Homo-oligomer: A and B are copies of this chain.
């Protein structure tokens, strides 16, 4: 049964999310310049550090103490248990403690704390914090997107030829998906103004939201990588779709966010639509 949440409560949840993002950012910033203990997950390019785990623990404990009825989906918890994500109508905090772990390990500043909150299976709050740059991106459904309190607005680029496209090869080294990703990049670069890769899905979506890129797409991402950034991009005016067209499915592991729907459609028409095991 759909959950009813009062505006007052939503405001509390939002403030609490921003608060915990700041705390998490402090932990990330303190660890940023230090030596890291790195483990690998699915393959040699899929990394996890103590900081990923410490931040996830911090957020989980925050939820348990402040909103004990709320549910939680965290990247590291899911990675450890291997469980499928299950979304209910209850408020659910979806967390990537450190999005861009390879950047974090290499002391590259584009490292994001990404937290989306769903109610009735829709993302209603998105918080992406880049602690090293002190950039706090926030959005609430229907209320716009902000960077450090300043309202964001996407670009107006309609034509792929003049568009700056952001995408990633990602951390999977599965030969079949890499092959399709490379074919896509080849096709896209042939038809666009330039391709950029910054190594964090959450940050990439915030770049589109801020007009520092026209469109971002990626196959192979997870719900915790993109759910917060997708709301931020959408609230800044982006067309956020499934790369094959139609509505985004949070668990289908693919996303396309373009500053205009014309651009979204044109880019979509160039892509081979990789199907991956859902979250």
Which residues of A approach B to under 8 Å, CB–CB? 44-45, 47, 102-103, 106-109, 155, 161-162, 164, 169, 171, 173, 175, 178-179, 182, 185-186, 189-190, 192-199, 211-214
Q: Which of B102, B162, B192, B195 sits near A164, CB closer than 8 Å?
A: B102
Q: Are the CB atoms of B194 and A195 closer together than 8 Å?
A: no
Q: Which of B193, B195, B213 sits near A44, CB closer than 8 Å?
A: B193
Closest-CB distance, A238 to chain B (whole angstroms): 15
Give Cα A212 to B109, complex, Å. Answer: 8
Closest-CB distance, A217 to chain B (whole angstroms): 15
Q: Chain B residues near A199 (CB, 8 Å)? A: 164, 194, 196
Q: Are the CB atoms of A196 and B45 closer together than 8 Å?
A: no
Give Cα A168 to B65, complex, Å. Answer: 47
Q: Are the CB atoms of A190 and B214 closer together than 8 Å?
A: no
7 A–B contacts, CB within 8 A, in A order: A44-B161, A45-B193, A106-B193, A108-B164, A169-B185, A175-B190, A182-B189
Q: Chain B residues near A182 (CB, 8 Å)? A: 182, 185-186, 189
Give Cα A162 to B162, complex, Å. Answer: 34
Q: Which of B45, B102, B173, B192 sits near A45, CB closer than 8 Å?
A: B192
Q: Chain B residues near A194 (CB, 8 Å)? A: 45, 102-103, 169, 171, 199
Q: Are the CB atoms of B213 and A108 closer together than 8 Å?
A: yes
Q: Are the CB atoms of A178 and B169 closer together than 8 Å?
A: no
Q: Chain B residues near A212 (CB, 8 Å)? A: 106-109
Give Cα A197 to B195, complex, Å. Answer: 7
- A106 in contact with B214 given A169-B189, A173-B190, A199-B194 (CB within 8 Å): yes
Q: Which of B161, B179, B196 sits near A197, CB closer than 8 Å?
A: B196
Report the nearest B residue to A47, measured CB to CB.
B193
Q: Chain B residues near A47 (CB, 8 Å)? A: 193
Give Cα A179 to B185, complex, Å. Answer: 11
Given contact pairs A102-B164, A109-B212, A196-B197, enumerate 16 new A-B contacts (beta carbons under 8 Å): A44-B162, A102-B193, A103-B194, A106-B164, A106-B212, A106-B214, A108-B164, A171-B194, A173-B190, A175-B190, A178-B189, A179-B186, A182-B182, A182-B185, A182-B186, A198-B198
Closest-CB distance, A250 to chain B (whole angstroms): 25
Closest-CB distance, A88 to chain B (whole angstroms): 34
Q: Are the CB atoms of B186 and A178 closer together than 8 Å?
A: yes
Q: Are the CB atoms of B106 and A213 closer together than 8 Å?
A: yes
